[in-house]
Amino acid sequence: AQSVTQLDSQVPVFEEAPVELRCNYSSSVSVYLFWYVQYPNQGLQLLLKYLSGSTLVKGINGFEAEFNKSQTSFHLRKPSVHISDTAEYFCAVTSDTGRRALTFGSGTRLQVQP
Amino acid sequence: GAVVSQHPSWVICKSGTSVKIECRSLDFQATTMFWYRQFPKQSLMLMATSNEGSKATYEQGVEKDKFLINHASLTLSTLTVTSAHPEDSSFYICSAPLRDRESGANVLTFGAGSRLTVL
């Protein structure tokens, strides 16, 4: 079984400041990791994914994340946030992209203030 | 790009009635689709896995007679909430796996969600 922990339920940050949203996972097998963003009353949009290869992955909207196997982490970062980045962010994991659904973390609300 | 279309985006119904939500994969086929439920300010909880041509697989605690899932074709899965009650009010989101060309792995693409309010 897998699980995902997002340590921060809310992260307030000022516009143009850097931000890091933390995600830790637990799994006894190899994993695939994802970050999704959800705007109010909308579905989920894929930000970025780690499937294999380079541990530093870049996504849309200037976000990036680093897969750290030894620390079982997949933290999301952005060097300079915008007001429009205000949304809910979900980290997710699966061990088999073909047959298994994603297991989601509890989400982190990023609140960008002017 | 590939899209998962969900309909209706919102629905209000009276207690005791049934509501059907459709999930379609546009321009790609999906033998498997996943249905999630999300309560306000909470994460997504997997309800069931919809399988084309066979019965859906339900997660523990999800009533299969309450939440009927039918995967009618390679591009359509439906979720019917039967005899809806106010506690069934929630945001329902479907997703379908789409093959990533670079890695060969499947990546879940999500619909925009359906907000159900039962009065």
* Model confidence pLDDT, tens digit, residues B56-79: 999 999 999 999 999 989 999 999
* Model confidence pLDDT, tens digit, residues A72-97: 999 999 999 999 999 999 999 988 75
Residues of chain A with pLDDT under 70: 97-99
- What is the third-level CATH fold of A3-113? Immunoglobulin-like (2.60.40)
Is the distance from CB of B39 to CB of B117 less than 8 angstroms? no
**Which residue numbers of B have CB closer than 8 Å to A's CBs?**
4, 6, 32, 34, 36, 42-46, 49, 91, 93, 95, 97, 100, 102-103, 105-113, 115
Domain boundaries, chain A: 3-113
CA distance A97 to A91: 15
User: What is the DSSP annotation of A69-113?
Assistant: TTTTEEEEEESS--GGG-EEEEEEEES-TTT-PPEE---EEEEEE
